[in-house]
Structure 1
Amino acid sequence: MSSLINKPFPAKDYTFQYISVGPEDFEKGHECKLPQTVSWEKFIKDNKTVVITGAPAAFSPTCSISHIPGYISYADELVQDKDVDQIVVLTVDTPFTQQAWAKDLGLKDSTHLKFASDPGCKFIKSLGFELNVAPGIDWSGRWAIVVKDGIVTYAAKEENPAAEVTVSSVESVLAHL
């Protein structure tokens, strides 16, 4: 388990970017929108319960098959039954890649589920959840965090992100809500 548990979410001075997804984005001519930049501090303050999961890369096999589809499948249960205000899927990919991946995985509406980007892996590194893939190159590891009223109540990182999805799965998150 992580040393983040039972501490305030370390959001100060960090941002993320995302591009919203809605039904209109599947119509010709609505494919390109500019990303929104959001302060983690404000985002956490504005939402009572937030689930954040990190993934090494958009469109990668484990992320696209075993990890992130569960969050899409269980989004309604998380929001309606577990009172989660926001779910964020975070990688170091561009917000454009994240939006394309979200749409490819079947996300039709990003009201409660955002596919976000951490440019330069700065925020992810501050959590200690990065994955060093080559000298000087860091991606996100595979991890999950639950934040309630600004306090981290669950935080876990996969020891081997190339193996099966365990502590970062939506089922593990559900068990900790």
Structure 2
Amino acid sequence: MSALINQPFPAKDMSFQYISIGPEDFAEKHGACKMPQTVAWDKFIKENKTVVITGAPAAFSPTCSISHVPGYIAYADELVQDKEVDQILVLTVDSPFALQAWAKDLGVKDTTHLKFVSDAGAQFVKSIGFELPVGNGVNWSGRWAIVVKDGIVTYAAKEENPATDVTVSSVESVLAHL
């Protein structure tokens, strides 16, 4: 069991970035993205009653793109409508530009409730102990899931083998803990 459970969400003085996606982003093909928005974690958690966050090692990587993140996309409506989740975040240490491209590639057409967020530098994932060291001092995010209700972590688990496992971080596991 994670030491994060039953504790306040631990991201004081940290932020994440994301690029919103809406219908206007599909109207015209052009190579440029919008500029990223920077969001303070404490403000974001305070503004949303229930937040699901799942960490993934890298945008466009095989396990992330085939079996991990597509589950969150497929169950987004159930999470939001039936389980009353305010926000679903897919977090990696990739740039927000790569994350927007990945989200669009996976079929995300609106980021009102489902955001692909960047923890560039791995500050947040290192602070919770969910980083994945890949050599030469570089850290990616491991594969994990956290549920936050009213600012308190109610579920937190990371995969033992983040390269291939999608068990405790799966949308089905999160659904079972909501």
On whether the aligned pair clears a TM of 0.5, the verdict is yes
CA distance, structure 2, for counterparts of residue 122 and residue 163 of structure 1: 23
Pairing 1:121-140 to 2, within 5 Å after superposition: 121-140=122-141
TM-score (norm 1): 0.98
Displacement of 1:29: 5.7
Give the corresponding residue for 1:15.
Answer: 15
CA distance, structure 2, for counterparts of residue 98 and residue 105 of structure 1: 10
| Bigger Cα displacement from structure 2, 21-30 vs 127-136 | 21-30
Partner AA of 2:65 in structure 1: S
Pairing 1:1-177 to 2, within 5 Å after superposition: 1-28=1-28, 31-177=32-178
Partner AA of 2:78 in structure 1: E
Partner AA of 1:17 in structure 2: Q
Q: Deviations over 1:60-79 (max 9, x none)?
A: 00000000000000000000
Displacement of 1:11: 1.7
Runs (4+) off by over 4 Å: none
CA distance, structure 1, for counterparts of residue 2 and residue 136 of structure 2: 25
Count of residue pairs brought into register by the alignment: 177
| Bigger Cα displacement from structure 2, 106-115 vs 156-165 | 156-165
Partner AA of 1:64 in structure 2: S
CA distance, structure 1, for counterparts of residue 102 and residue 130 of structure 2: 21
Secondary structure of 1:101 counterpart: helix
Unpaired runs of 5+ residues, structure 1, are none
Secondary structure of 1:106 counterpart: coil
CA distance, structure 1, for counterparts of residue 44 and residue 3 of structure 2: 22
CA distance, structure 2, for counterparts of residue 119 and residue 133 of structure 1: 15
CA distance, structure 2, for counterparts of residue 121 and residue 90 of structure 1: 10
Secondary structure of 1:17 counterpart: strand
CA distance, structure 1, for counterparts of residue 90 and residue 29 of structure 2: 26
Taking every aligned residue pair, what percent have the same amino acid on both sides?
80
Unpaired runs of 5+ residues, structure 2, are none
Partner AA of 1:12 in structure 2: K
Displacement of 1:23: 0.8
